[in-house]
Amino acid sequence: MIKKLESISLKRHPKLNEKWVQEQIAADPTLLGLGDVEVKDIERRQPGAGRLDLLLYDTETLKRYEVEIQLGATDESHLIRTIEYWDVERRRYPQYEHTAVIVAEEITSRFLNVIHLFNGHIPLIALKMTAYQVGDEVALTFVKVLDEVNLGLVDEDEPVAEARDRPYWEAKASKATLALTDDLLNKVVKAVEPGAALKYNKHYVGLVIDGAAFNFVSFVPKKAHVIVSFRLERSEEVDAELDEAGLVKLAYDAQFRQYRVRIDANLKDQGREAMIELAKRARASFGKAG
């Protein structure tokens, strides 16, 4: 006989709390079902407005999610706080797309009615969180009750370059895309800067020259492809060259002035040559090493 899972209330749990939920999401933010997102910040301080539980971002689109967690049912103060934090972040970093995300154990009908009063101004996602007792462990599920509805890197914000190693990235991405990153280093970057080597950080794989960081090109390996960024001002000429080469362009990172392209194992010679030219321009604009 199959035993039915029994849900439990985190709000009334003697040991588990909001901090525990935050830690579970931070360990694997894809649990929320928002796509291939990563943690940008935890307990992010808001000027004059407390702390945002989690700031997540999509590594491909650079879209940001301001996430607030509520044990029990949603209430007015939780909604106001979530919208306030979303508004603070979008005003501070208007170059990114922002979406507010409310996570709660119960999404009330009154809450949903209030949301519709915004009438086209606030992109918001509501996730119903349910906890289940599974033996001695507790499992979490998240169900999207309200999908995103448009009802109607400044230095201080740059990802902290926390050191990691190659096995970390092979587990996070794949050995195949790490091999592809090696190939891009050898055939693209070293065609421009022969002394460059890879530097493994938590959020990206950068470059070092003579032991010093020199990220005119950087990489974010994924499971099946690699996102390659070139530090370079945007121009119509470069846009046209990338289109002609058939490279898959991602959203331009206006904050850090970076072109971003998605590369997989099927990279053609024409695309590789275009990347070399882009690397040359990025290297020249970045300045001399050291």
Q: DSSP for 171-211?
A: HHS-HHHHHHHHHHIIIIITTT-TTEEEEEBSS-EEEEETT
Q: For residues 270 and 215, what is the distance between their CA atoms, to the nearest angstrom?
A: 24
pLDDT at 119: 47
Model confidence at 47, pLDDT cuts 50, 70, 90, reads confident
What structural domains does the chain harbor?
Answer: 6-152 (3.40.1350.10), 166-286 (3.90.1150.200)
Q: Is the distance from CB of 181 to CB of 218 less than 8 angstroms? A: no
Provide the mean pLDDT of the chain.
Answer: 86
243 HSE (CA, 13 A, CB side): 6
Strand, coil or helix: what is 42?
A: strand
Residue 190 has pLDDT above 60, yes or no: yes
Q: For residues 199 and 90, what is the distance between their CA atoms, to the nearest angstrom?
A: 31
Model confidence at 141, pLDDT cuts 50, 70, 90, reads very high
Quick one: tokens of 45? 């301080």
Q: Is the distance from CB of 161 to CB of 206 less than 8 angstroms? A: yes
The model's pLDDT over 61-78, given as tens digits with 9 standing for 90+, comes to: 889 999 999 999 888 888
Strand, coil or helix: what is 4?
A: coil
Q: What's the start-to-end Cα distance of the chain, in Å? A: 68
Tell me the pTM: 0.65
pLDDT at 109: 77
* Closest alpha carbon to 240 in 274, 276, 191: 274
- Can you tell me the mean pLDDT for 112-134? 79
Determine the residue type at 112: L
Task: Compute the CA torsion angle 115, 116, 117, 123 (nearest 10 deg).
Answer: 60
Model confidence at 3, pLDDT cuts 50, 70, 90, reads low
Quick one: tokens of 269? 């010679």
Task: Compute the CA torsion angle 258, 262, 265, 270 (nearest 10 deg).
Answer: -70
Residue 280 has pLDDT above 70, yes or no: yes
- Cβ burial 245-267 (10 Å sphere, 16+ → b, else e): bebeebebbebbbbbbbbbeeeb
